[in-house]
Amino acid sequence: MLTAGPAMADSAAPYVELQVATNFSFLRGASHPHELFGRAATFGYGTLGVTDHNSVAGIIRAHVAAEEHGVRLVPGVHLDLVDGTALLAYPIDRAAWGSLCRLLTLGHKRGERQVFTLTWEDLEAGGAGLVVILLPDMPDADLARVLSRLGDLERKGGIDSAYLGLTLRRRPGDQARLQALVDLAGRTGVPTVVVGDVLYHDAQRHILQDVLTAIRLGAPLDQLGAGREPFRDRHLKSPDEMLALYRGFEAALAATRTIVARCRFSVADLTHLIHGIEYFGWIFLLLWFGRAGSHRVEAVSF
């Protein structure tokens, strides 16, 4: 049974990390949820967002780790659309969590050879109640069009709210790039928000992350080339360090607080699901039906 546990007060820090991949992001994340939440507690975070790739498989482990360390979990997902667009999506409430789970079910069911297949049209039809952050890792020629589309989707009520993510990549011209993104967001009417794109809890874990990348790309470690992270700092950073790194982008830092205040959904809200059956009991039933060869249960949104 999942319990809400003691009330967890949000940290007074003006920044909350919202983009964290755990080891449930297969061959990407290099730290367990308990390691990430333990480090977050050490840094004084009161809240941490988890966004594994196209999956919520690790969200229960993250919930347990969050309770153990007294840090509030904001559950989300990193969605990869078929056109190459990368988004972070966070449900604002229980109904929006159901919408997100249905999108994940659709993307995995439709894809061949375990390739996640989700489109803009799917998001437009089923994204109600989601806070969505566009990750701008795409050619500039495409970015303005995609950001405009996301802003239009918010204005039409297809999603709860839209943001453009700002992330330092430790590459030449980084600061100018961030300012250009802020300017583009201003012209489009979509606010910006800082996200750290965290892959592990400690800087030393970059060695394991390199190994995971080599396996994922099918290349020897010494031949990763551009596939290897050029700067090995994809670890969770303290709020103070993030404030220093993003000096001049205070509004985008503060937007993290706006998002966590908006997203009040908790995994603890899923305690009772159907006719008194609790979360793990429901999971057991699904596994039992699957083992028995039943295909009558095709999709579940918790």
Tens of pLDDT, residue by residue over 30-65, are 799 999 999 999 999 999 999 999 999 999 999 999
By residue count, the chain amounts to 302
13 within domain boundaries:
no
The single-letter code of the amino acid at 152 is: D
29: left (phi over 0), alpha (psi -120 to 50) or beta: beta
Residue 191 in tokens: 């606010």
Q: Which CATH number fits the domain that encloses residue 234?
A: 3.20.20.140
Task: Check whether residue 283 and residue 255 sit in a common domain.
Answer: no
280 within domain boundaries:
yes
Structurally, how many domains does the chain consist of? 2
Residue 9: DSSP 8-state:
P
Task: Check whether residue 294 and residue 198 sit in a common domain.
Answer: no
Residue 172 pLDDT: 81
Give the pLDDT confidence of 205-249 residue by residue, as tens digits.
Answer: 877 777 777 877 777 877 777 667 766 789 999 999 999 999 999
Task: Check whether residue 185 and residue 300 sit in a common domain.
Answer: no
Burial of 282 (0-12, 13-18, 19+ CB in 10 A): middle
Residue 147 has pLDDT above 90, yes or no: yes
**Domain housing 282:** 273-302
236 within domain boundaries:
yes
Task: Check whether residue 200 and residue 60 sit in a common domain.
Answer: yes
19 within domain boundaries:
no
Rounded Cα gap, residues 208 and 197, in angstroms? 17
Rounded Cα gap, residues 159 and 90, in angstroms? 10
Task: Check whether residue 290 and residue 233 sit in a common domain.
Answer: no
Which of 12-16, 99-103, 270-274 comes out lowest in average pLDDT? 270-274
Query: Which residues on adjacent β-strands are paired with residue 52?
Result: 77
Give the pLDDT confidence of 80-135 residue by residue, as tens digits.
Answer: 999 999 999 999 999 999 999 999 999 999 877 678 999 999 999 999 999 999 99
Q: Count the neighbouring beta carbons within 10 Å of the beta carbon of residue 227.
A: 12
Residue 146 has pLDDT above 90, yes or no: yes
Q: Is 291 helix (H, G, I), strand (E, B) or coil?
A: helix
Task: Check whether residue 134 and residue 280 sit in a common domain.
Answer: no
Residue 294 pLDDT: 47
Task: Check whether residue 255 and residue 282 sit in a common domain.
Answer: no
Cα angle value 254/158/184 (rounded, 5°): 45
Task: Check whether residue 239 and residue 281 sit in a common domain.
Answer: no
Q: Is the pTM of this model over 0.75?
A: yes
Residue 6 pLDDT: 35
Residue 184 has pLDDT above 50, yes or no: yes
107: left (phi over 0), alpha (psi -120 to 50) or beta: alpha
Residue 300 has pLDDT above 50, yes or no: no
Task: Check whether residue 127 and residue 53 sit in a common domain.
Answer: yes
97 within domain boundaries:
yes
228 within domain boundaries:
yes
